[in-house]
Amino acid sequence: MFTHVRDRFVPASRTAAQTNGRTGRPISPQTVRRRLRVAGLRCRRPKKAVILTARHRQVRLQWARRHLRLSRTEWSNVLFVDETRIKTRTADGRLWIYRRRGERYHDECVVEADRYGGISTMMWAGISMHTKTQPVLVRGNLNARRYQDESVAPVIIPHIRANRGMSLVQNNQPVIQPEGQCKCSKIT
């Protein structure tokens, strides 16, 4: 069991084979799985996510505390924008881990998402409480100039101007208000 607590990605078959070599008494992978189940460890798929560093967590917590007291009306005037990569073809690559109930988001139970591999396309859009922008299909690599020319100028600026009093929030970018001033409030 301790092997599976230290390394959640060890399969039961490997544990059974290693145990057979040490004790001389053969045990089956099913026996290992039963013992792990008794200890509260079940075989499950790992959560795919970006691993956050301690600094990322600290910055996100500070940002949340700073904006904790915003009213519903204030939040309704914020436009959140982001892009996502949509994979068009991926390998199945099923992976299983042993974890207890409630451990889904523990660092040792999360496998980092492959954000840039494979054939994919990128979509970009913005949402607020009452409005949304038109989605933008991004073809090829997106750099700062293309982002400005294809997303900010034709979509974000007109949307903010059409919805007076709206502010813009984007990961790692300042919050922009309609007049163009920036309140330096970054989130990571």
Q: Where are the alpha helices (DSSP H) in the chain?
A: 2-6, 12-23, 29-38, 54-66, 72-76, 144-147, 157-162
Q: Among all chains, which residue has been given the structure tokens 């840039």?
A: 116
Q: Which two tokens stand for residue 155?
A: 């979509």
Name the residue among 177, 173, 127, 133 with its Cα closest to residue 155: 133
**What is the predicted pLDDT for the residue at 117?**
57
**Is residue 132 very low, low, confident or very high in pLDDT (cuts 50, 70, 90)?**
very high
- CB-count exposure of residue 15 (10 Å: 0-12, 13-18, 19+): buried
Pick the residue with more confidence: 22 or 155?
155
Domain range list for the chain: 2-44, 50-91+122-183
pLDDT digits (tens, 9 = 90+) for 96-105: 888 888 888 8
Q: In this predicted structure, which of 34-48, 75-89, 136-150 has the lowest mean pLDDT?
A: 75-89
The pTM of the whole model exceeds 0.85? no
72 contacts 128 by C-beta, under 8 angstroms: no
Closest CA to 80 of 156, 174, 168: 168
Pair 163, 177: CB distance under 8 Å? no
Whether residue 188 has pLDDT greater than 70:
no
Q: Which CATH class is domain 50-91+122-183?
A: alpha beta
| Percent with pLDDT over 90 in the chain | 11
The answer to whether 36 and 3 are in contact (CB under 8 A) is no
